[in-house]
Amino acid sequence: MATKYTITGPAYIKLFFHLAKHPHQRVNGVLIGKELSEGVVEATDAIPLLHHWTSLSPMMEIGLDLAGQYAESAGLKVVGYYQACERPEDTTLFPVGEKIASRIKQGFNHAIAFVLDASQIDGTSAALVPYVPAAPNPNWKPASSSPQPFTVDSPYQLSPPNLASRALALVRDEKLHLKFGDFDDHLEDVAIDWLRNKACVPKDL
Amino acid sequence: MSPSIEDLASFRTKNFRASQEFIDKASPILKDVKKAKSNDDGTHFVVNPATVALTRKQCALDVGRLDIAKTAWKALSERIGHDSPRVILLQGLIMEATESLDTVLRFYESEASKNQHNPSFWKRQISVLRQMGRIEEAINELRLFLDTFYNDLEGWLELADIYSSCCQYTSALQALSHALLLAPQNPFTFLQFAETAFSAGDIQLALRNFLIVIDMSDQTPVGFSVRAWWGVKLCARRLIHPPAGTSNESPSKTPVPKNIKLIDQLATERVLTAYSGERGIHNRDVVSRWMTSN
């Protein structure tokens, strides 16, 4: 049976903010969460890594290590990877993304990767393309589109279901994404709390 | 120039990419652009970057104000003429946001052949090839371009970025070597070189270049020097405790410093110093734990 994945409020909002803050650049980060029961994974938060030199590895390695330690301290695990491309219509998982997703899979067997499809952002669609492991390792492939991810019977869900419209409104109306910072931002100013980003997530989420 | 125009002019001279902030500041000025007298308050210096900031097609959620872009383009073309290469280039940028990339590519190819001494159209042509995913063609065109315009620093950095995106790190290092010749005073290029060397598996070369960045910075670890000290720490740890199954041999034959353990200790101290004050309070614990783990 296919593993079920649920992405909750803070995870989706932060992932969306990462794209919104750097629409002209590639961005990537990780999802943290836990396996609720066999084959049921909940991603409860997102930790943004880079928007600069995203194909280079040293800061990625450090960021991944720190994110993993933070997740562990919160009783969670790194469960997935996300990225977005500077070209809205490009939903390929980059070679670097495959490597990172494979590394995450070493620590969490049900690891998942998501690519943001900016061309689908309209407030109704999750605009996420899931990628799952494909043999031979370390390749990844888009998940089955039957049923379409993030629709009613799909193993991929947002919780609550209106997160897409909420995220878009938070960017357009409140510009909360401007308070968001990733590891690249943190390296320029260590006061930026890239692991938590509390200031940009509404209290009700 | 008025203070607000001075502010906006600084975006151009300092090469800031802060599109939304620029638009928020520029919009009131652009509303009055038609009333401005010619050659008076530098308004035309504002209009140019406003259009550039607005019309990058890659930005799905960028400011997206094509209305402002077109107003700015019209004002600029009335001021300096429709035939100005700058105006034509800005027209191309607007087309990148509104037309198919095939159409835009043909436009730039035509303008590049008419303006062979002006590299801008060729560069946009290469950028469009990259946007279309025609990476091999983009690389070939960029290499031809750099054969002709060797001094174009941006071109070498773009070539390095394209190679890195394909995980061709050795080729990226070669491109960055040319960038370093052109801009030996720029610590960011050394930083990019260091991170690319690390990605290519040449830890010793990466360490050397992270240390060059530190040499170019102030004593107090802040800003880009924090990133460099993190890089030094990562490299030193890797050289002292190589992961199982890996080799520490440097492809560039760069030697391991004899005092590598002292470098490691210094990097630890410098990074922890960066997090020691009030500003580092949020992440101090997780950083300290990382420093003491292997």
Containing H/E element for A80? strand A77-84
In this complex, the residue of A59, A66, A118 whose CB is nearest that of residue B60 is A118
Over residues A112-155, the pLDDT tens digits come to 999 999 888 888 899 999 999 987 767 899 998 889 999 988 99
Tell whether A151 is covered by a domain: no
> For residue B10, which phi and psi values (nearest 5 degrees)?
-70, -25
Number of alpha helices (DSSP H) and beta strands (DSSP E) in chain B: 15, 0
Pick from B261, B273, B212, B234: nearest CA to A59: B234
DSSP structure class, residue B255: P
Residue of B142, B140, B166, B135 whose CA lies nearest to B156: B142
| Chain B residues lying within 8 Å of A59, measured CB to CB | 195, 227, 230-231
B117 or A44, higher pLDDT = A44
Question: Is A107 inside a domain boundary?
Answer: yes
Q: Model confidence over B73-115: pLDDT tens digits?
A: 787 788 888 888 888 888 898 898 888 999 999 999 999 999 8
Supply angle C-alpha B129, A25, B76, rounded to 5.
Answer: 70
Nearest residue to A26 via CA among A50, A48, A47: A50
Question: Is B189 an 8 Å CB contact of chain A?
Answer: no
Q: How many other β-carbons are positioned within 10 Å of the β-carbon of residue A193? A: 14
**Chain A contact residues (CB < 8 Å to B):** 19-20, 23-24, 53, 55-59, 61-62, 65-66, 69-70, 73, 86-88, 90, 94-96, 118-119, 121, 171, 178, 186-191, 193-196
Q: Which pLDDT value is given to residue A93?
A: 94
E strand or H helix that includes residue B154? helix B153-165
Element (H, E) at B115: none
Question: Nearest CA to B199 among B153, B251, B139, B277?
Answer: B251
**Chain B neighbors of A118, CB-CB under 8 A:** 60-61
What percentage of chain A exceeds 90 in pLDDT? 80
Instruction: Reply yes or no on whether the pLDDT at A13 is more than 50.
Output: yes
Q: Is 70 exceeded by the pLDDT of residue B124?
A: yes
pLDDT, greater one: A67 or B47: A67
How close is the nearest chain B Cα to the Cα of A2, in Å? 32
A27 with A84: CB under 8 angstroms? yes
**Is B195 a residue whose pLDDT tops 60?**
yes
pLDDT at B247 over 80: no
The H-assigned helical ranges of B216-283 are: 224-240, 260-274
**CB atoms A73 and B131 under 8 Å:** no
Q: Quick one: closest CA in A to B201, which residue?
A: A57
Nearest chain B Cα distance for residue A21, angstroms:
8
CB atoms within 10 A of CB B272: 17
- Interchain contact, A58 vs B224, CB within 8 Å: no
Model confidence at A101: pLDDT above 90: yes
Amino acid, res. A28: N
C-beta of residue A23 within 8 angstroms of C-beta of residue A171: no
**Cα distance between residue B194 and residue B200, in whole Å:** 10
Q: Which DSSP symbol is given to B51?
A: H
Around Cβ B266, how many Cβ atoms within 10 Å?
16
Q: What is the mean pLDDT of chain A?
A: 93
The C-alpha atoms of residue B174 and residue B178 are separated, in whole angstroms, by: 7
Topology, domain B99-184? 1.25.40
Cβ neighbours for A94, distance < 8 A, ≥ 6 positions apart: A26, A54, A55, A83, A85, B165
Is A83 among the domain residues?
yes
Give me B268's structure tokens.
């630890």
pLDDT tens readout for residues B197-216: 999 999 999 999 999 999 99
Interface touch A55/B56, C-beta < 8 Å: no
- Quote the domain boundaries for residue A27: 4-145+156-198
A78, A91 contact by CB (below 8 A): no
Mean pLDDT of chain B: 83
Q: Identify the weakest region by mean pLDDT among A47-61, B66-80, B242-256.
A: B66-80
> Per-residue confidence at A89, pLDDT binned at 50, 70, 90?
confident
What CATH number does the domain containing A119 carry? 3.40.140.10
Read off the amino acid at residue B219: Q
Name every chain B residue with its beta carbon within 8 A of the beta carbon of A73. 286
Q: What percent of chain A has pLDDT over 70?
A: 99
Q: Minimal CA–CA distance to A169: which of A205, A144, A139?
A: A205
Q: Which residue of B has its CA nearest to A73?
A: B286
- Check residue B46 and give its pLDDT: 44
Q: Which residues contact B69 (CB under 8 A, 6 or more apart)?
A: B50, B51, B54, B55, B93, B94, B97
Average pLDDT over residues A58-73: 96
- Is residue A111 within 8 A of residue A81, CB to CB? The reply is yes
CA nearest to A200, candidates A5, A35, A10:
A10
DSSP-derived 3-state class of residue A150 = coil
Tally of domains within chain A: 1
* pLDDT band at residue B245 under the 50/70/90 scheme: confident
CA–CA separation, B47 vs B30, rounded Å? 7
- Whole-complex ipTM: 0.93
Q: Is residue A118 part of a domain?
A: yes
Please give the Cα distance from A82 to B91 (Å, whole number). 35
What is the reported pLDDT for B36?
45
Calculate how close chain A gets to B36, using CA atoms only, in Å: 32
